[in-house]
């Protein structure tokens, strides 16, 4: 589990392969191995009325996963190692930006966001929106997590900083009829406004992957399994989707379901699953299996991703490793071959189909993605040059369905 700092956000996903290979994702063989076609793809999505660009993103990510995966990073345009803000750290090392940008709704929905130009939280909102637009205009895709603060005091999302009352009542209070249900709707209204107005220079709504209530199998967030029943978790998820899609008419969202790495079997993974009609992307966060675990950790992670990939194929969903990384700092030296050996093996062995992976954000004092002066930069470059990886330069046109 990564440490989330207050200034936060980010994530991006990238991988490298030849331009010809990546472009073929969107121009040839327009039937996926599980029967999804450009003509029937809407039948398998949470929102059958999704914008054309959102439909295309779903199809092209699903198709791309058959041959390669994209590389991303959280807050890639704003969180840097050693505070060099000239460009993303991934671009500093490889010459290209990531394929995926990770953002967060935390500051956007914060109780302290007044919408005034002088307000720090509103300034962060504008920065996030600008980053998402830049990513889309550059051909990248965008994912949003939501570290929503608990609804009673509006201060914390980590349960280690909350009272027992807050831990056991935060999620339940947001359900229809709950004491904070109307409050929750105001937060969803804010998200709906942002996403409805999130447009690129082409004046089209930008598709967004919304990763709701992630890492719920642990207890560190108030929506975790220790603090609510499976039925309550599922009810809140379903309400959220229906409110955004049906009540607020937001049609540029793909919904991602992403526990942490504790699940080894399909039955475990699906224990809190809200249903096929509420999920587009089956994902998993995994730091622990890569935390200096060597080959055995890579094998363990690959077996979990194999389970995930098989489930996504069966359910006609997209599979993803939605957060990962090994944070290098003064206390944690680089691991030889971490990117090009252990991570790449975990993402490719057993012919799994993972559409993207995302590293957490860099800070001034520690990093998940090395910059050119770091000793493991060549390991990262080797990783991005592997046959099944892609950065932004080798992405297909994700926002247009093939003919």
Q: What is residue 386's DSSP assignment?
A: S
For the chain, the C-alpha Rg in angstroms (whole number) is 20
182 catalytic? Reply is no
Instruction: Please state, as a whole number, how many other Cβ atoms lie within 10 Å of the Cβ of residue 155.
Output: 13
What is the Cα–Cα distance from 397 to 403, expressed in whole angstroms? 13
What is the Cα–Cα distance from 73 to 12, expressed in whole angstroms? 3
| Cβ contact 278:233 at 8 Å | no
What is the Cα–Cα distance from 376 to 304, expressed in whole angstroms? 26
List C-alpha distances in Å: 184 to 39, 243, 380: 36, 11, 41
Q: Which residues, 6+ apart, have CB-to-CB distance to 144 below 8 Å?
A: 102, 103, 104, 105, 208, 209, 210, 211
Residue of 125, 150, 156, 323 with catalytic role: 323
List C-alpha distances in Å: 275 to 234, 252, 315: 8, 20, 10
Q: Please name the residue that has the structure tokens 């309400």.
A: 239
First-last CA distance in the chain: 42
266 catalytic? Reply is no
The strand pairing partners of 74, in sequence order, are 102
Residue of 161, 215, 242, 266 with catalytic role: 215
List C-alpha distances in Å: 119 to 116, 125, 155, 192, 194: 5, 10, 17, 21, 17
**Is residue 356 helix, strand or coil?**
strand
The residues carrying an active-site annotation are: 215, 323
């Amino acid at each position: 589990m990564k440490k989330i700092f207050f200034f936060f956000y980010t994530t991006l996903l990238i991988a490298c392969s030849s331009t010809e290979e990546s472009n073929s994702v969107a121009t040839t063989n327009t039937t996926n191995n599980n029967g999804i076609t450009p003509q029937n793809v809407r039948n398998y999505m949470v929102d059958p009325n999704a914008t054309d660009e959102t439909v295309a993103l779903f199809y092209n990510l699903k198709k791309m996963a058959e041959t390669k995966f994209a590389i991303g990073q959280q807050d890639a345009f704003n969180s840097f190692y050693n505070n060099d803000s000239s460009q993303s750290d991934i671009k500093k090392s490889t010459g290209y930006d990531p394929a995926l940008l990770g953002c967060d709704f935390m500051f956007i929905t914060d109780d302290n966001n007044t919408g005034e130009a002088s307000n720090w939280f509103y300034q962060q909102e504008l920065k996030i929106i600008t980053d998402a637009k830049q990513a889309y205009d550059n051909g990248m895709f965008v994912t949003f997590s939501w570290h929503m603060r608990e609804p009673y005091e509006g201060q914390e999302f980590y349960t280690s900083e909350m009272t027992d009352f807050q831990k056991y009542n935060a999620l339940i209070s947001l359900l229809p009829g709950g004491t904070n249900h109307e409050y929750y709707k105001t937060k969803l209204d804010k998200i709906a406004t942002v996403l409805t107005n999130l447009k690129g220079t082409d004046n089209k709504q930008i598709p967004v992957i919304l990763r709701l209530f992630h890492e719920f199998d642990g207890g560190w967030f108030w929506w975790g399994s220790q603090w609510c029943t499976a039925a309550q978790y599922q009810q809140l998820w379903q309400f959220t989707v229906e409110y955004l899609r049906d009540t607020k008419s937001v049609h540029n969202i793909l919904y991602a379901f992403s526990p942490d790495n504790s699940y080894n079997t399909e039955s475990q993974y699906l224990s809190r699953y809200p249903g096929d009609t509420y999920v587009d992307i089956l994902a998993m966060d995994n730091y622990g299996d890569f935390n200096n675990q060597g080959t055995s950790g890579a094998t363990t992670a690959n077996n979990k991703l194999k389970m995930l990939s098989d489930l996504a194929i069966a359910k006609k969903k997209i599979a993803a490793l939605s957060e990962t990384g090994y944070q290098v700092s003064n206390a944690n030296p680089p691991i030889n071959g971490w990117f090009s050996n252990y991570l790449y093996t975990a993402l490719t062995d057993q012919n799994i189909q993972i559409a993207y992976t995302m590293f957490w954000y860099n800070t001034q004092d520690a990093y998940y993605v090395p910059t050119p002066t770091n000793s493991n930069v060549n390991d990262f470059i080797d990783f991005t040059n592997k046959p099944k990886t892609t950065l932004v330069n080798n992405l297909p046109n994700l926002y247009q369905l093939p003919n």
